[in-house]
Amino acid sequence: MNQVSLGLTTAGAALMMISLVIGEFATGGWTNYPPYTGAVFSPGVGPDYWIWSVVIAGIGSLMSGINFCVTIYKCRAPGMTLMRMPLFVWTTLCSAIMLVYAMPPITVSSLMLALDRVLGFHFFTNDLGGNMMNYANIFWMFGHPEVYILVLPAYGIWSEIASTFSSKRLYGYSSLVLATMAIAVIAFTVWLHHFFTMGQSASVNIAFGIATMVIAVPTGVKVYDWMATLWRGRIRMTVPMVYMTGFFILFTVGGLTGVILANPSVDYQVHNSVFLVAHFHNVLIPGVLYGVLAGIHYWFPKVFGFRLDERTGRLTAWLWVIGFSLTFLPLYVLGLQGMPRRLPSFTEAAYGPWVTIAGFGALVILLALTMLFVTLWVSIRQRGQLSVPLGDPWDGRTLEWSIPSPAPAWNFATIPVVRDRDDFVARKGAGQAYEAPARYEDIEMPRPTYLGLTLCLAMTVMGFAIVWHIWWLALVSFVIVPASLIYRAFLPESEVEAVVPAAVVAAEDRAWRKAIAEARGVTRDEEDSPANCGLAAPEGEPA
Amino acid sequence: MIRWKSGLPFLCVCMAGSASWARGILSPLGPVAEAQRAHLITVTAVTMVAVLPVLIGVPLILWRYRRVKKGVYRPDFEYSRGLELAMWGVPFVLFVLLSILLWRSTIALDPYRPLGPDPLEVQVVGLDWKWVFLYPEQGVATVGTLVLPEDRPVTLKLTTDTVMQSFMVPALSGQIYAMPGMVTTQNLIADRTGVAEGRNMQFNGPDFAQQTVRTEVLTEGDWTDWMEAAASAPVLDVTSYAELARAGTIEDARLQFGIAEGPIRLRLGAPDLFSTIVDRYHRGQPVPASAQPGAPGYQPEALR
Ligand code: HEM
Ligand SMILES: [Cu+2]
């Protein structure tokens, strides 16, 4: 299911890429508002590509959501109660639940638009009772939850990073869980703030404006919780912490402008302006993108077995922070000056200086992007010195750091029993971090399969065929989907799953434990040196 | 870091609107935009109570508890009742306060709320890529220019004869969507003479950038003279409207009416043009692409 979801998401992306070469992509912005995107005004293929990319990738997202929910509810290790889960898991769970509820509306609105375009329906046309307001309404029932689907997992990453790099327990765990849940629920009640200006009555706007502002409360609580986590810690300014610094300052400004936009009377002025563009980049780039980059730096050694270079990494992070500020903060001024979004050219002299600063900022962002690849390249070249095979380069707090790096295919040689939220810290404190298990068992692993790739190709072809109205091809490729699923369902167990014998697991695990016994634990002073091979000496005793 | 923190005071300076780049809401021509600007400043100020602790506290904490300093270290600190109360309580109190302010300003600045007796009604029709203004009482029509009398309440009635658009003259009021077959309303007053820029804010195709509105506020007397001068102007009736509605910019309209420079001022030959435009989408019959201005397949003959 995981593979199929990824396959479908890739198919959506592939369609988008194809559109750049054959035909054109969405001509109506990311919201694809009709009637501009209806058949009457946009007879080209742009909106069709948009529709089918969104629908196909959307099904992938929906399946991912279901998959995460089920895995988190059903497949936890013994002792891993809900309230012991790392915060990243909590935020992923909330995000996944939101996906399940938010994807259907956009699939529906997109398919309704497709019916208008292809079969001459009148859901959103100008004539025969069609009404584009319904499109905006259904679209944003997805659109608003979507922004929190993006940011919640990042909130989880920030939580892990704050506590790891200050060597402290996470402050306000229950508050953070509660705030995440609150956001996930309230996010479904505010969608109308994306069209305060559609002409509805003041009371409707008031209700949705106030609902929107409520979200700022749990969001603020989270930021304060992370601050309290750092307070009285032992903070190391590693790459993820540089990103987090940028996040703290910039995201807070983004939250402030969100609260400003929640006021319909102000929104009338800055809606559809670059002020709005500044707001959402201000929450998306420092909130989500920095979170993802910080997360990559943090977990990279776990996945690939070596750390990323700190020096270039830190430079990259600062460039992102500066580049973002230069590019997007001027847009607030431009927005207040009345500059609309999606403006291809302008003559107003007043815009000039601000657009120039923003343009310069874009160059800095380009540089940051380049440095990101330089960081990767430098690190890959020095992977010998950066390698951390013993698995715990950051003095980690949660159990993923208690296994080798890169993680073996089966992750844990034996399933751990969880007793604490920061279970690995508790074990290290008790001197039981690396106790060898009494016995090993066979481990069942899924075999590689072509199912995801097949579905990805089939759906890409189907989308392409529908866009260009090649109906026979669409039908053929659509039939491949149920056909390959049924085929797989009839495969014998041995073709689907492979068994790793206990002896193999034991040999690998024992070799790793032997290396640990012989290694010297490094203190945090040596974190960024070749001496760090992934065995941590505990941080100083509590004062 | 200094840069980001100076960003906000800096915004406030912009709002004070002293420099030449102050336009739109930053230099209002009427009470609606003025109140919107005031509300923006109030909300920003109130929210600062929640924002400043982060902007100031984060650098302090990062400095004070940096590892090499070996400061106070409490690795197991994870809950404090007082802190918890403050973290939830302060934002909640701010939220209540802001909600009250939001409620009051949304009612006060509701675009549908009339701003006084005897308003001037101006009908606004969005076309690709120009705005047409109809003054039914005066029998005048303009393209790309909105001329208003000083100190008289104005009621704009808006629709489009193409895709959705969003009308805004930021120095006077906020924006409101204009949609085909539907009528929305925006009330405003200009309380001083002057010139302001307005435009369509909703992307609607290649010449979106050109869809601007030059707004002039004149004294009552000048305004009356301006309107009366239309008596000798070219006429806007159903036939010339059908041609005007074709996708094109203000420059194309100039060519059509032979007005090389100055405002495009027309005599309104069809007093009920506005309702004709709106009603055309409600006849219970399909409106073919050839009769939808702005569509690539539009034929002016189909409208007549
Ligand atoms: C403090 C919490 C927030 C509040 C009160 C808030 C409020 C708003 C409001 C009122 C709008 C509509 C503005 C308009 O269309 O005129 C908006 C737009 C938007 N917000 Fe936020 N927001 C908040 C946080 C976030 C976060 C965390 C994200 C994403 C991670 C986000 C992403 C967006 C996006 C993508 C849009 C605009 C989409 C578009 O029109 O293209 N916001 N926000
Ligand atoms: Cu939203």
pLDDT, residue A364, reads: 97
pLDDT, residue B21, reads: 67
Return phi, psi of residue A453, to 5°.
Answer: -65, -40
Atom 42 of ligand 1, residue of closest alpha carbon: A280
Domain boundary among A352, A368, A387: A387
pLDDT, residue A155, reads: 97
- What's the token pair of residue A275? 């002020």
A400, part of any domain? no
pLDDT, residue B19, reads: 46
Return phi, psi of residue A454, to 5°.
Answer: -60, -50
Both A333 and A364 in one domain: the answer is: yes
pLDDT of residue A27 exceeding 80, the answer is no
Find, among A28, A262, A227, A8, the residue nearest to A132 by Cα: A28
pLDDT tens digit sequence for B215-253: 999 999 999 999 999 999 999 999 999 999 999 999 999
A147, part of any domain? yes
Both A94 and A200 in one domain: the answer is: yes
Sign of torsion over alpha carbons B184, B190, B193, B197: negative
* Spatial contact of A113 and A37, defined as CB atoms under 8 Å apart: yes
Q: How far is CA B86 from CA A170, A375, B43, B50, in A?
A: 18, 41, 21, 11
Both A200 and A57 in one domain: the answer is: yes
CA angle A362, A366, A372 (to 5 degrees): 140
Instruction: Locate all alpha helices (DSSP H) within B192-233, ordered by sequence.
Output: 220-228
Q: Map residue B55 onto helix, strand or coil.
A: helix
**Averaged pLDDT, A10-39:** 87
In chain B, which residue's Cα lies nearest the Cα of A229?
A: B78
Ligand lying closest to the C-alpha of residue A30: 1
Domain boundary among A220, A235, A250: A235
Both A133 and A194 in one domain: the answer is: yes
| Nearest atom in ligand 1 to A190's CA | 10
pLDDT of residue A254 exceeding 90, the answer is yes
- What's the token pair of residue B300? 């002016």
Q: Is A487 on the interface with B (CB under 8 A)?
A: no
d(CA A135, CA A114): 12
Q: Is A121 on the interface with B (CB under 8 A)?
A: no
pLDDT, residue B20, reads: 56
Both A165 and A247 in one domain: the answer is: no
**Averaged pLDDT, A378-393:** 94
CA dihedral (A217, A222, A226, A227) in degrees, to 10, reads 0
B/e letters for A369-380, b = 16+ CB within 10 Å, e = fewer, are eebbebbbebbe
pLDDT, residue B303, reads: 84
pLDDT of residue A69 exceeding 80, the answer is yes
Give A143 Cα–ligand 2 centroid separation in angstroms.
Answer: 7
Give B188 Cα–ligand 2 centroid separation in angstroms.
Answer: 28
d(CA A144, CA A486): 36
How many CB atoms neighbour CB A75 within 10 A? 8
Q: How many domains does chain A have?
A: 2
Give B121 Cα–ligand 2 centroid separation in angstroms.
Answer: 34
Domain boundary among A217, A235, A253: A235
Return phi, psi of residue A387, to 5°.
Answer: -75, 145
pLDDT of residue A124 exceeding 60, the answer is yes
Pick from A27-31, A39-43, B104-108: least confident = A27-31
- What's the token pair of residue A200? 């509805």
Find, among A189, A293, A299, A205, the residue nearest to A243 by Cα: A293
Give A81 Cα–ligand 2 centroid separation in angstroms.
Answer: 33
pLDDT of residue B46 exceeding 90, the answer is yes
Q: CB within 6 Å of ligand 1 — which residues? A: A 147, 150-151, 193-194, 212, 215-216, 219, 255, 258-259, 261-262, 267, 271, 276, 279-280, 283-284, 287-288
Find, among B42, B11, B33, B13, the residue nearest to B170 by Cα: B33
pLDDT, residue A494, reads: 85
**CB-count exposure of residue A481 (10 Å: 0-12, 13-18, 19+):** middle
* Spatial contact of B287 and B180, defined as CB atoms under 8 Å apart: no
pLDDT of residue B5 exceeding 60, the answer is no
**The pairing of beta strand B165-168 with beta strand B194-200:** antiparallel
Both A42 and A121 in one domain: the answer is: yes
d(CA B268, CA B231): 9
**The pairing of beta strand B145-149 with beta strand B176-178:** unpaired
Both A267 and A181 in one domain: the answer is: no
* Spatial contact of A301 and A393, defined as CB atoms under 8 Å apart: yes
pLDDT tens digit sequence for B263-293: 999 999 999 999 999 999 999 899 999 999 9
**Averaged pLDDT, A350-373:** 94
Find, among A277, A176, A278, A292, the residue nearest to A229 by Cα: A176
A263, part of any domain? yes
pLDDT, residue A496, reads: 87
Instruction: Name the amino acid, one letter, at B131.
Output: W
Which CATH code of 2.60.40.420, 3.40.50.300, 2.40.280.10, 3.30.70.20 fits the domain covering B120-303?
2.60.40.420
Domain region containing A96 = 1-235
pLDDT of residue B9 exceeding 50, the answer is no
Pick from A20-34, A247-261, A298-312, A313-327: least confident = A20-34
Both A175 and A319 in one domain: the answer is: no
Q: Is A273 on the interface with B (CB under 8 A)?
A: yes
- What's the token pair of residue B206? 């290649």
- What's the token pair of residue A379? 């690190």
Q: A484: which residues sit within 8 A by CB, 6+ positions away?
A: A451, A454, A455, A458
pLDDT, residue A540, reads: 61
**Averaged pLDDT, A232-257:** 96
**Averaged pLDDT, B144-151:** 96
**Residue B26 banded pLDDT, cuts 50, 70, 90:** confident
For residue A244, list chain B residues with Cβ-Cβ distance below 8 A: none
For residue A167, list chain B residues with Cβ-Cβ distance below 8 A: 67, 73, 75
Question: Residue ranges per domain, chain B?
Answer: 2-108, 120-303
Both A224 and A190 in one domain: the answer is: yes
A542, part of any domain? no
Tell me the CATH number at A163.
1.20.210.10
**The pairing of beta strand B235-236 with beta strand B264-268:** parallel
Q: How remote is the C-alpha of B179 from its chain's centroid?
A: 15
d(CA A366, CA B233): 54
d(CA A162, CA A167): 8
Both A164 and A268 in one domain: the answer is: no
Tell the residue number behind the tokens 């909105």, with chain if given: B146
pLDDT of residue B6 exceeding 60, the answer is no
In chain A, which residue's Cα lies nearest the Cα of B185?
A: A199
Find, among B278, B276, B282, B279, the residue nearest to B304 by Cα: B276
Both A208 and A278 in one domain: the answer is: no
pLDDT, residue A332, reads: 95
Tell the residue number behind the tokens 């109030």, with chain if given: B42
Both A217 and A255 in one domain: the answer is: no
pLDDT, residue B69, reads: 85
pLDDT, residue A404, reads: 94
| Nearest atom in ligand 1 to A195's CA | 15
pLDDT tens digit sequence for B172-220: 999 999 999 999 999 999 999 999 999 999 999 999 999 999 999 999 9
